């Protein structure tokens, strides 16, 4: 949506951010903007469902309020937002030994990386709902997710320190999920014994120490929900 909007349309939305409603003439970003040009952009915003007209006044719709709230009012541009994702740590015990469901990714970015499976949290979803959905979609398994930690991770390009990715990760443990395990075209899932993790995870998403820390937190019954932030050089993106 942001890419579709003209600069003048963003200016109109910004004006409506600071008012309950405005008349046609009050929406003019500049005196140089002619009525027919202003009218054209208003019709476009109405067509996009961001603005509505009532009794010769213009209002932001519910969708318009959500979208316009993402406008940086200093630069009149829509900035990228940090992604919100769930990382899943399914755990089971077989013959007295712990096993973890390990993901080998088969798409970009992070092609070929291994570790915990993940998925986006959709608009309006709780972490628990998202974790259940992602577990089912990714593995065909079902279980009760438990939120372990939240972490804001900014991935940096090694040479330039350019930001490659920005995400907030919600780590969820799932003990003894049920169902028939299935992989998908985005990657494969395999149950791996705890003693074999170091040999199996040859290309971790960040580092093996980072992966191991998530495993330890997910299996520690005394751990409490924590939040952290890191900026990290990423060579696997």
The answer to whether the CB of 38 falls within 8 A of the CB of 27 is: yes
Question: Which residues does residue 53 pair with via DSSP β-bridges, in sequence order?
Answer: 58
Q: For the chain, 237 residues long, give each residue's pLDDT as a single digit of tens.
A: 556 889 999 999 999 999 999 999 899 988 888 889 999 999 999 999 999 999 999 999 999 999 999 898 889 988 888 999 999 999 999 999 999 999 999 999 999 999 999 999 999 999 999 999 999 999 999 999 999 999 999 999 999 999 999 999 999 999 999 999 998 889 999 999 999 999 999 999 999 999 999 999 999 988 889 999 999 999 998
Q: Where are the domains of the chain?
A: 2-78, 83-233
- Which of the following CATH numbers is that of domain 83-233: 3.30.70.1350, 3.30.365.10, 3.90.79.10, 3.90.660.20? 3.90.79.10
Tokens of 134: 């992602």
Read off the pTM: 0.81
Tens digit of pLDDT for each residue in 135-181? Answer: 999 999 999 999 999 999 999 999 999 999 999 999 999 999 999 99
∠93-136-91 over CA atoms, to 5°?
15
Q: Is the domain covering 2-78 a CATH 3.30.380.10 domain? A: no
Strands 163-175 and 83-94: parallel
């Amino acid at each position: 949506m942001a890419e579709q909007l003209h600069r003048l349309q963003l200016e109109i939305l910004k004006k409506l951010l600071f008012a309950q409603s405005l008349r046609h003439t009050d929406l003019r970003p500049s005196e140089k903007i002619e009525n027919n040009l202003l009218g054209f952009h208003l019709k476009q915003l109405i067509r996009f469902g961001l603005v509505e007209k009532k009794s010769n006044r213009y209002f932001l719709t519910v969708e318009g309020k959500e979208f316009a709230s993402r406008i940086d009012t200093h630069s009149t541009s829509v900035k990228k937002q940090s992604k919100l994702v769930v990382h899943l740590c399914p755990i089971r015990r077989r013959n007295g030994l712990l096993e973890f469901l390990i993901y080998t990714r088969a798409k970009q970015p992070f092609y070929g990386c291994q570790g915990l499976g993940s998925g986006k949290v959709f608009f309006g979803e709780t972490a628990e709902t998202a974790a259940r959905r992602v577990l089912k979609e990714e593995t065909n398994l079902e279980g009760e997710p438990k939120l372990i930690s939240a972490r804001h991770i900014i991935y940096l390009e090694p040479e330039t320190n350019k930001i490659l990715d920005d995400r907030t990760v919600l780590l969820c443990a799932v003990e003894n999920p049920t169902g028939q395990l299935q992989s998908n075209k985005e990657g494969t899932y395999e149950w791996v014994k705890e003693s074999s993790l170091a040999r199996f995870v040859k290309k971790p998403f960040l580092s093996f120490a980072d992966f191991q820390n998530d495993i330890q937190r997910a299996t520690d019954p005394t751990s409490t929900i924590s939040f952290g932030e890191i900026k990290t050089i990423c060579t696997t993106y």
